[in-house]
Chains A and B, each alone.
Chain A
Amino acid sequence: MLAGDRLSLARLLTRVENDSPEGRAALVELFPYTGKAHLIGVTGAPGTGKSSLVNQLALHYRRQADQRVAIVAVDPSSPFTGGAVLGDRVRMRDLSGDPQVFIRSMASRGSLGGLAQATAGMVQVFDAAGFDVILIETVGAGQSEVDIARLAHTTLVVEAPGLGDDIQAIKAGILEIADILVINKADRPGVENTERALKSTLELAHPAQRIFLHHGQVMEVKSGDLRSAQGDISTMWIPPIQKTVSTEGRGIPELVEAIARHAEHLRQSGDWVARERARLEVELEMLIQEALLARFREDVPAQKVQQVIEQMVKRDLSPWEAVKSLMNGRSK
């Protein structure tokens, strides 16, 4: 796979997405080769132009810097059937024919082990396969998107004018995770309104009170503590607002510039390592939870759990006592 065989890469991505034993074994082997790529998350409401933006960013990284680019594009699954129509490639046709670009679509509920975990695994595969830039597109809506954003070194939150008066990202609660705010569709009327709304929200959030990572710890920093927190106020990253027209490629060089500045900031401030650490911590926790749960299910017969539930229904046992008795009753 490291040799760059595209079919093997595609198959390995499937195994990892499936959380199959072969997929897990491969991740173990690949892990030492990961940690080199720049992971860029792109999130925002449907229709804001994320796929078009990812297309432009990838084009730019290919042409200007000859970077190898991988794209993981996540679209929602139907809550009723679990099926999905994954349509992000429609906006990425400029990238076809370039062997140094690899696009993989993913349904949000397609993976058994959970979306964030599957995405983390797939990103590791691309990273180990030598892709320099990995773009992760998700629909900013839920907790799992926020979890995915945590995977990234740099997270772009995409807004567009004309999607109603509200800033969609505020509604979805994802503004907090933005390292860079993008107002796409800057050719449309209403850009000034969107920009004004974003700015005032940012000013509310920053620098009066902002949560950021400091040596792997999430810290809440009040304005007065800024200097003492990291020594210098200049080490604080204030999310810039970038305007783009993804259908034409306008504003893309400036956005790439901002992404590079953010990466530089992460390295200078030590946050790159801190984020890496926090990311691995989150991943470890996810896997531990899963492993403990799996072990619990193996050790405690389902029948025993049902009995305990019956007792709870009759109010003979409280949930806390139930947990205690099940944990103690483990055969191993």
Chain B
Amino acid sequence: MSENKTSPEQSRRIRVLVAKPGLDGHDRGAKVVARALRDAGMEVIYTGLRQTPEMIAEAALQEDVDVVGLSILSGAHMALAPRILDLLKANGQSHVKVFLGGIIPDEDLPRLKEMGVTGVYGPGANTEDIINDIRGALAEKA
């Protein structure tokens, strides 16, 4: 019967979970990024403030996302990022690319990359760069 004529550019949109783990109080930056990704044609699942690593991994699983974007301003990234990466892996989602935004000291970058964080962005980062990096990372995978 009807053949499925799904071409690559028609296939599903990139799905991104934008989450804010930890206890620091505002999500303006996360919201700006969420809107920029939407404007780039992505589907952004936004989960709000004060998410535990377990909540983030669970949402990533249920939503079957391609990317998890974390906004961490509290300085707790060296504790939170590996925990979330571990949980994703335990759930069978090691293919999910993790991006990190926040105030991240340069000396932490190598270790974050080693853990499996795909990209790290400071407060002044250009959203264009984030969008390009996400597309690049997913294209690599495919």
List A residues at the B interface (Cβ < 8 Å).
6-7, 10-11, 13-14, 17-21, 24, 77-78, 80-87, 89-90, 93, 96-97, 102-105, 107, 110, 112, 290-291, 294-295, 298
Contact = CB atoms under 8 A, between A and B. Distances in A.
Contacts of B72: none
Given A7-B91, A83-B37, A89-B59, A18 B11 contact: yes
A21 B41 contact: no
Contacts of A89: 45-48, 59
Contacts, number: 103
27 contacts: A6-B61, A7-B92, A7-B93, A10-B63, A10-B64, A14-B12, A14-B64, A18-B6, A20-B4, A78-B38, A81-B38, A83-B38, A83-B42, A84-B43, A85-B34, A85-B44, A89-B45, A89-B47, A93-B48, A97-B55, A104-B62, A105-B43, A105-B45, A107-B13, A291-B1, A294-B3, A298-B3
Interface residues of B, number: 36
B4 A21 contact: yes
Interface string B78-101: 000000000000011100000000
A11 B91 CA distance: 12
Given A7-B92, A20-B6, A90-B48, A110 B54 contact: no
B64 A84 contact: no
B55 A103 contact: no
Contacts of B63: 10, 104-105
Contacts of B5: 294
Interface in B53-73: 54-55, 58-59, 61-64
Contacts of B34: 85
A313 B5 CA distance: 30
Contact of B1 (A6, A78, A102, A295): A295
Nearest to B92: A7
B125 interface: no
Nearest to A103: B62
Nearest to B63: A105
Given A6-B91, A24-B4, 4 more contacts: A82-B13, A85-B44, A87-B46, A110-B43
A132 B80 CA distance: 35
B4 A19 contact: yes
Interface string B23-35: 0000000000011
A104 B61 CA distance: 10
Contacts of A7: 61, 91-93
B59 A96 contact: yes
A165 B23 CA distance: 39
A83 B43 contact: yes
B91 A86 contact: no
Most A-side CB within 10 Å, residue of B1, B39, B62: B62
Contacts of B48: 87, 89-90, 93
Nearest to A296: B2
Contact of A13 (B10, B46, B64): B64
A83 to B, nearest CB: 4
Given A85-B46, A103-B62, A78 B39 contact: yes
Contacts of B92: 7
Given A10-B62, A18-B11, A89-B59, A294 B45 contact: no
A81 B62 contact: no
Most B-side CB within 10 Å, residue of A78, A83, A104: A83
B28 to A, nearest CB: 14
A87 B4 CA distance: 31
A10 B38 contact: no
Contacts of A21: 4
Contacts of B3: 294, 298
A103 B39 CA distance: 24
A103 B62 CA distance: 6
A58 to B, nearest CB: 13
